[in-house]
Amino acid sequence: METLLTQLPALIGVVVGTVGTMIATTVAERARWRRNQTVRWDERRLDAYADFARAVKEVHLLALGMLSAHRPGASRPALDREQGLARLAEAAERHTLTWEGVLLLGDEATVRAAAAWRHAVRALERAARALPDLPDDLGALVQRADEMRDGFYQAARGSLGVRGGTVDQSRRPAEVPVPATRR
């Protein structure tokens, strides 16, 4: 009995050490799993945002191409109406499919910004489909779509934790030349 009492502190130390190791390992594994999940979802969110941006931008550019003959100073060559309508139909389908990814993975602010950009581009698309009838506020429609794009990019970057400079392209001062790669 006396031998057991002398070894009891050592046994308690082993048990406490084992329990402590198990707890520390469990906590570390959970933290690592959460980090991996966060990275995985951030990658999926980035893919969803980028796919959506490409799809909406495609609709935007097709609509601008169809409208360019009616926009003074437009740098984009005019797109034939029939060809433009066919391409718009395809692009609108991709746009709708990518919208689902944003709805599924995006945070509230990004989904709101994406919806605003989507509606602004839809207004441009409606104007292109209505040719030869033009809306009175075509310039304002283009400006609104550009501003909503900037808002989406800001919200998406915030959702992904991307830091850095401004993404505003619609508010570029007139005296700042557009880089040659952007023309």
**CATH code (residue 111):** 1.20.120
Q: Which of 119, 86, 101, 76 is nearest to 156 (CA)?
A: 101
Q: Which domain holds residue 51?
A: 43-161
Does any domain span residue 177?
no
162: left (phi over 0), alpha (psi -120 to 50) or beta: beta
**Based on the structure, what is the number of domains in the chain?**
1
pLDDT of the chain along its 183 residues, tens only?
788 778 888 888 888 888 888 888 888 888 787 777 666 788 899 999 999 999 999 999 999 988 887 776 666 777 788 898 999 999 999 999 999 999 999 999 999 999 999 999 999 999 998 888 888 888 899 999 999 999 999 999 999 988 877 777 765 544 444 444 443
What CA–CA distance (Å, rounded) separates 143 from 158? 23
Does any domain span residue 83?
yes
**pTM for this predicted structure:** 0.72
List the structure tokens of 170: 């619609």
